[in-house]
Amino acid sequence: MTVSVIDTGPNRISRSVLVNAPVSELFAIVADPRRHHELDGSGTVRATVSGPPRLAEGATFSVNMKAYGLPYRITSKVTAFEENRLIEWRHPVGHRWRWQFTPESAGSTRVTETFDYSEMGRIKAAIRYYDLIRAPKSNTAGIEATLTRLQARYAPDGPTIT
């Protein structure tokens, strides 16, 4: 299983994998916030969610989270949505999570996940804070674990990661 590094510019972390599943099936998981915990490789996303059963541009949803041993709840707003292509949401602090889906041959899909804190650059202290708490490093590890988990879920010989 291979996770590819994608260069999307400063203060953006993107990784990509090829998944042996159709775009529509993968998109459906990410478009349903109640299923985000199924994907999460970081261990921070919990199953308790409020919001619409299917995301759309402008929708908001709240998710119970746990990081650094502390539970909290975060409400995000969907900032971009293209059916079977793209979903992006923004956290109240300003960073964004972006999922892109590109159909490939034989029913497989290239899935790219991005943690984008580039717009935080207007607030220099925010970038320094993110660096101080090691958000880029921990989010990189979480993205790689998430994508590896998703790829394994649809591996031809069955899931190897649960």
Token couple for 125: 């202290």
pTM of the model: 0.88
Q: List the pLDDT tens digit at each of the 162 positions of the chain.
A: 589 888 888 889 999 999 999 999 999 999 999 998 888 888 778 887 899 999 999 999 999 888 878 898 999 999 999 999 999 999 888 889 999 999 998 899 999 999 998 887 566 677 777 777 677 788 888 899 999 999 999 998 754 433
Q: Is residue 159 part of a domain?
A: no
Q: Is residue 66 part of a domain?
A: yes
Helix residue ranges per DSSP H, the chain = 23-31, 36-39, 124-132, 135-153
Number of domains in the chain: 1
The CATH number for 47's domain is 3.30.530.20
Residues 8 and 14 sit within 8 Å (Cβ to Cβ):
yes
CA 20 to CA 110: how far, in whole Å?
9
Q: Is residue 160 part of a domain?
A: no
